[in-house]
Amino acid sequence: MRGYDDITSFLGTWGPFQLTVFLALAISILPNGFVGVYIVFVGDTPPHECLIPEEYNISEIWREAAIPMITQDGSLKRSSCTRYRVDTLRNYSMLGYIPNVDVNMTDIELESCLNGWSYSKEIYQSTIVTE
């Protein structure tokens, strides 16, 4: 059986052409690393909560109270997946009631984010998730 050197002897010795091809391939690998790191920034999910559209005509105090508070990782924060029923909030807002004073917020039914989400622009202006 022939050895590796015998089989590849027709290729010739290492010369300027092989060096050029090697460097071209080595340099072409560098941008791939940037693409790998790029997804870390554009693929992140910023803090978000349910969107309460302006057309619902809810007062600002009810708009702030529309998102329930949840405990996550030991701290109290606004829910990112649920909101109080907007129809109910609109009725209370039109009657001039004050949340947690005239109305017990825990008695209002929860619903999912039917109108999408509003994303925080504190860290990122735009990501894949927000688009």
**129/45 Cα distance (integer angstroms):** 6
**118/47 Cα distance (integer angstroms):** 9
Average pLDDT over residues 14-29: 90
Q: For 81-123, how does the pLDDT look when each residue is reduced to its tens digit (9 = 90+)?
A: 999 999 999 999 999 999 999 999 989 999 999 999 999 888 8
CA-to-CA dists, residue 99 to 58, 90, 95, 112, 131, angstroms: 12, 12, 12, 20, 33
Note the pTM of the prediction, 2 decimals. Answer: 0.68
Average confidence score pLDDT of the chain: 89
In which region does residue 32 sit, left (phi positive, over 0), alpha (psi from -120 to 50) or beta (all else)?
A: alpha
Instruction: Inform me whether the pLDDT recorded for 1 exceeds 80.
Output: no
